[in-house]
Structure 1
Amino acid sequence: MSSPAPRPRLNRDRVLHAAVALADENGIEALSMRSLAQRIGVVPMALYKHVASKEELLDGMVDVIVGGIDLPTPGADWKAAVRERVLSARASLLRHPWASQVIESRTSASPVVLDHMESLVGLFRAGGFSVDLTHHVMHALGTRMWGFTQEVFPTPARPADPDARAAALGRFAARYPHIVEMATAGSHDEGSAVGGGCDDQFEFEFALDLLLDGFERLHRQGWTRAGRTGERRSQRAVR
């Protein structure tokens, strides 16, 4: 009788990938050191040899997600390369819907996270952007560099009953006609983060392309913060 195959050796990489898989299946709220240990088939204390705490586990999970972002196509110009990198980050986030919440909760950047930021900064610098403009460009990108955006207001839940839903919409439309007109004009994407009338992917790419076009225009104009500040001062003096 043959002996059973040996269990794969536990290491940090195996722990992190098991945690990502567990969060993908059951949500980040279901993740605990105990539930992770049960999934792997070890006692919880065995995990602490590889991750010292739940927070370190979450840091490592972010590294797994960010480390999976594709590098841009070699030889691509800065605009195409940045777009490709950001959209790859978004594709990774869509595969792991919990990841944006965890990324926002981190209080420090790991080397993997810094590598991603360094890559984006390097793409702008290689494209001829000044350090000054690149600084402001990265602020403008914000969370888009990780593949998501933070909406200002959540979309309220709609009543389940059709009649109640129609009545609520009627009251809302009477008070906020322009909002309803705008919201009902777009294509529908069930579960959209920006409302039932929005296509999340389209909205993300639309805003990204607007930013990239704006960055390109400022770069061609030789924009500097000093020049912009001086322009504002001159406008105030004229008034």
Structure 2
Amino acid sequence: MQLRRGDVLDGAMAILDEYGLGDLTMRKLATSLGVQPGALYWHFPNKQTLLGAMADRILDGVAAPPTAPTWDGALSELAHRFRAALLAHRDGAELVAATYASRLTTARVREAFVAAGLRARLSRAHAELAGYALLHYVLGHTVDEQSRLQLAELGALTRKPVSPDVSTETAAGSDDDLLDGDPAVRFDFGLTLFVDGIRTRLHTGGATSPGPNVTPVQSN
């Protein structure tokens, strides 16, 4: 049977989910597909290109127009959607972060963040910067979250998880309590700080746009 590009991508995603990014090699992928390694290069000229395609698959649908009617709701919806897509695959955040750094994946998620910032009437420049900042926050948080999950599976995290009570502002007993607590609580807290920061800049009159320009920026 002829090997198709989709077959290679499916096989790579299967290895990622079962073994992790560190065990994804072109030789191992070829063996799993029952072909010689050279056959893979008809579809992907190198491993980095393959990783970029994998990142695009992980992020498929994340940048769809948000349903929230407000700019802050849109940012929150997009950020949660982004995090969920990364968590759906083992080492998903690490893979996507690497391909973003090397410009091998699309910028649609960042563009969606920028569009939400423009809805808030941030200036174009500040909407772009806010898009990058939120992208990096979600990636960084989720890389840490997945790393700690793997450590827990290996028995390297032996402390009982304790979540900070953010609703009553009860302080955690130590930094470990915060790190070992519910990652969704930490994520939501950081996201709220981010949105509140934008709202503060808007209320103080800083970084606002004089017009209703909401056109998403083009990919890099």
TM-score relative to the length of structure 2: 0.71
2:83 touches 2:142 (CA, 8 Å); kept in 1? no
TM superposition shift of 1:121: 0.7
The structure 1 residue matched to 2:174, chosen from 182, 189, 205, is 182
1:78 touches 1:126 (CA, 8 Å); kept in 2? yes
Task: Report the Cα distance in structure 2 between the residues aligned to 1:181 and 1:93, rounded to whole angstroms.
Answer: 30
Which residue does 1:169 correspond to in 2?
none
SS of the residue 2:78 aligns to: helix
Task: Report the Cα distance in structure 2 between the residues aligned to 1:135 and 1:45, rounded to whole angstroms.
Answer: 41
TM superposition shift of 1:139: 4.3
Amino acid at match of 1:90: R
- Structure 1 100/200 Cα, relative in aligned 2: closer, same or farther at 3 Å? same
Q: Output the aligned Cα RMSD.
A: 3.1
Task: Report the Cα distance in structure 1 between the residues aligned to 2:119 and 2:95, rounded to whole angstroms.
Answer: 31
- Structure 1 28/150 Cα, relative in aligned 2: closer, same or farther at 3 Å? closer
Confirm whether residue 44 of structure 1 aligns to residue 37 of structure 2: yes
Q: How does 1:17-28 map to 2 (within 5 A)?
A: 17-28=10-21
Which residue does 1:205 correspond to in 2?
188
Amino acid at match of 2:103: A
Task: Report the Cα distance in structure 2 between the residues aligned to 1:137 and 1:223, rounded to whole angstroms.
Answer: 13
2:63 touches 2:78 (CA, 8 Å); kept in 1? yes
TM superposition shift of 1:140: 3.3
Which residue does 1:108 correspond to in 2?
102
Which residue does 2:162 correspond to in 1?
none
Q: Rg: which structure is higher?
A: 1
- Structure 2: gaps (5+ residues): 160-170, 209-220
- Structure 1: gaps (5+ residues): 1-6, 167-178, 187-194, 226-239
Identify which of structures 1 and 2 has the higher relative contact order when contacts are C-alpha pairs closer than 8 Å and 6+ apart.
Answer: 2
Number of matched pairs: 188
Task: Report the Cα distance in structure 1 between the residues aligned to 2:117 and 2:65, rounded to whole angstroms.
Answer: 13
Which residue does 1:130 correspond to in 2?
123
- Structure 1 116/70 Cα, relative in aligned 2: closer, same or farther at 3 Å? closer
Task: Report the Cα distance in structure 1 between the residues aligned to 2:80 and 2:140, rounded to whole angstroms.
Answer: 6
TM superposition shift of 1:22: 1.0
2:74 touches 2:116 (CA, 8 Å); kept in 1? yes
TM superposition shift of 1:48: 0.6
Task: Report the Cα distance in structure 1 between the residues aligned to 2:58 and 2:177, rounded to whole angstroms.
Answer: 34
- Structure 1 220/140 Cα, relative in aligned 2: closer, same or farther at 3 Å? same
Once the two structures are superposed, residues 20-48 of structure 1 have per-residue CA deviations (whole angstroms, 9 ceiling, x without a partner) of: 12111111111111211122222221111
